Structure 1
């Protein structure tokens, strides 16, 4: 199968090259969509230095089932309407956390437009659990 792929790519090098370029552009666009993407260790370091606030944008039911220590819960459908609550943290990085890191980037981008310093936890609460880090109920 790999032989067929290599044969196709060499026979149609312009088409294969265009595909690689488009794929690279798509990946670059997706990575830049929501501002900075943080690992669990980067999140922990920023919070420990009191340079960040964690905002969990999952529904209240999911938040109650387990969340990062000190996290605030503002469901994603109410985030923009409740930005005034976060004004006191405007000098800090607001780290958005969702279930798997799929929606936090979009909301981080919206926050960046309103003057906040925003980032997202890469992989969401799933990556936090995957690293065996503690959750509070």
Structure 2
């Protein structure tokens, strides 16, 4: 297949061409936004390494009942409604990597943006949330935690 055949196909199928252009623009936009958002997404194995190597602070933003049923060992539970990156207790963690965790990874993005805005430099989000952690067969601690 050469360029002329592709061009002819696109000319014969304007709706497919438009859909392809739209999807391409959406993908480029998504990747650009991800690159400039100021924090990085981590897979469960990467989070484990970060905890072990750099003593990362893991902030679990899920409701306490969900947290108590199972959470990443050593994580701190903070409700999103009470999440305050300017809190004095968090100030000492500004030099540490901070990882936001939620159920599926969406709430954590908002928390990560707030952490970056508050001056935290090493901010991460667990991609896929606690569900991804469970799918990776990594251990969960039960109870209130630390």
Q: Which bin holds the TM-score, normalised by the shorter protein?
A: 0.7 to 0.9
Return the TM-score normalized by structure 1: 0.82
Higher mean C-alpha displacement, 8-17 vs 61-70: 8-17
Alignment of 1:1-137 (within 5 A): 10-12=12-14, 15-16=18-19, 18-28=21-31, 31-32=34-35, 33=37, 35-80=39-84, 83-116=87-120, 117-137=122-142
Decide which moves more: 49-58 or 87-96: 49-58
Structure 2: distance between partners of 1:44 and 1:86? 21
Normalising by structure 2, report the TM-score: 0.78
Alpha-carbon shift at residue 131 of structure 1 (Å): 0.8
Q: Distance in 2 between matches of 1:91 and 1:109?
A: 17
What RMSD in Å do the two structures reach over aligned CA positions?
2.3
Count of aligned positions: 131
Aligned to 1:3: none
Secondary structure, aligned partner of 1:67: coil
Which structure: larger Rg?
2
